[in-house]
Structure 1
Amino acid sequence: MTTILALGGGGFSMEPDNPLLDDFLLSLALRRRGPDGLPRICFVPTASGDAEGYVAEFEKAFAGRAETSALRLFHLSELSVVDLRSYLLSQDVVFVGGGSTANMLALWRLHGLDDILREAAEAGVVLSGISAGMNCWFEASVTDSFGPLLPLPDGLGLLGGSACPHYDGEADRRPTYLDLVGTGRLPAGYAADDGCGLLFRDGRLVEAVSSRPEARAFRVGPGGPTHDSPALETPLTVRYLG
């Protein structure tokens, strides 16, 4: 069974004092294969250019709760083992950080990570991520990788349709996504506010969860009521984790 937790925002990098989404992610790791009984979680910060500060935030957030490591593609020479397939398949959770979705996907494909991540998901490794780390699992997404918000029909396709993170966190996200879906430039998909996560198993949405009581999620498809609003938002039930 494949398990993917796609975060519109939140988690350790946006809510360092609110561990609810991080705790929920760790609860999904059932195998506990680390030698000390803790789940193994690998951070993939490719979209940020492997920012050192981002890695430090990750390690601080999960210290003592998981066996942490980071796969930094810009620094492969620093890894003691560079068999990326074995490395990722040995994890319980792979968490993908935010940044440039387009640049990340291009680099992943260059290193064969796209195929390895598909294999990892099929082997039971939990896949997750925020922002670009939400976008990447879908067939398509809205991204600012090119400057302005634009459609990117270039995801890994582990999840069908399109994605829009930061639905309430950036002023242009919602109207842009509604326009792109309503006019057919993006397929129907899912939008998630900051602080909201969408849990999928075998490609089907199981539930939406949040670290903030007010965080929302939507299924977005064509067929809005007016020409000015050609896309239709269907609110999803969101379970507050607090």
Structure 2
Amino acid sequence: MRLLLLSNSTLHGQAYLAHAREAIEEHVPRGATLAFVPYALADHDAYTAKVADALGPLGVAVRGAHAGGDPNAVVAQADAVFVGGGNTFRLLRALQRTGLLDTIRDRVRAGVPYLGSSAGTNVACPTIRTTNDMPIVEPNGFAALGLVPFQINAHFLDADAASTHMGETREERLEQFLEENDVPVLAMREGAWLRVGDGSADLGGTTASRLLRRGEAPVELPPGTDVGGLLQTPARYDA
């Protein structure tokens, strides 16, 4: 499988996908037809047009999965798949209802490049249990694509020592997840991404990520870190 999983699609001060342009250009071949899955946001046409504007200069033809009546046919005929960000619960429910979970999984396992950002990165995991999003809709369970065998937390935020907010920090919420589930969590700050291919995995971007495991101290992982070992790590949910 070939995966490029972005923590975010827009970095402060830059245009949509601009911060990952070179990585995307390496990942999606020039001349490719890309199926864009827009279901994490409500306006599918506008979202697809935004992606087309960003990827057109890279020589990539973008087609919305929602266009043409059968999203599975759009994905089946594409050279690459991009699942965009937004609300992860809304995205997963749409993937379930359209049958795209199986179609995308099969295509990616057959070698079609997969690009995900934010919610699109969340659904590449076995479940969406480590999303930050509000459950604005109710999907039929939390099981997702399972393209990687561990969990990712996109848009990871460090605790602000100067803040008077008394709720849990992001890290505390992930530690609560680990109390119930024995599976690594790769917490990616904005500006970070994960590349997977040929049995290897490494971090890229401009910011460090953080690896959390049950019963262990969190570990900082700078860009360029080889995290291929996570692809072989067993995971136990509800354990």
Q: Offset at 1:101?
A: 1.2
Measure how far apart 1:108 and its partner are.
1.1
1:13/1:89 CA distance change after superposition, 3 Å: farther
* Local SS of the residue matching 2:143: coil
What SS class does the counterpart of residue 48 from structure 1 fall into? coil
1:222 aligned counterpart, secondary structure: coil
The alignment-based identity, stated in percent, is: 22
SS in 2 for 1:142: coil
What is the Cα deviation at residue 193 of structure 1? Answer: 0.7
Amino acid corresponding to residue 19 of structure 1 in structure 2: A
After superposition, residues 13-92 of structure 1 pair within 5 angstroms as 15-16=14-15, 19-30=18-29, 38-73=31-66, 76=67, 79=68, 82-92=69-79
Matches within 5 A, 1:140-155: 140=127, 141-143=129-131, 144-146=133-135, 153-155=142-144
1:14 & 1:163 partners in 2: Cα distance?
Answer: 25
Could you say which residue in structure 1 is the equivalent of 2:203? 208
Q: 2-side partners of 1:51 and 1:13: how far apart? A: 24
Matched, 1:162 2:162: no
Contact 1:45 1:72 in 2 (8 A): yes
Q: TM-score, normalization: structure 2?
A: 0.75
Secondary structure at the counterpart of residue 174 of structure 1? helix
CA separation in 1, counterparts of 2:200 and 2:16?
28
Question: Structure 2: where are the runs of 5+ without partners?
Answer: 161-168, 226-239
Cα separation, 2, equivalents of 1:139 and 1:127: 15
CA distance in 2, matches of 1:22, 1:170: 29
1:44 maps to a residue whose letter is V
Structure 2 counterpart of 1:219: 211
The answer for unaligned runs of 5 or more in structure 1 is 33-37, 225-231
Specify which of 82, 107, 111 is matched with residue 120 of structure 1: 107
Structure 1 counterpart SS, 2:15: coil
In structure 2, relative to structure 1, the CA distance for the partners of 1:84 and 1:135 (3 Å cut) is same
Cα distance in structure 1, aligned partners of 2:16 and 2:97 = 36
Aligned to 1:99: 86
* Deviation at residue 200 of structure 1 after TM alignment: 1.6
TM-score, scaled to structure 1: 0.75
The count of residues paired between Structure 1 and Structure 2 equals 211
Normalized per residue, the structure richer in strand is: 1
Alignment RMSD (CA, Å): 2.9
Q: Mean Cα displacement is larger for which, 126-135 or 52-61?
A: 52-61
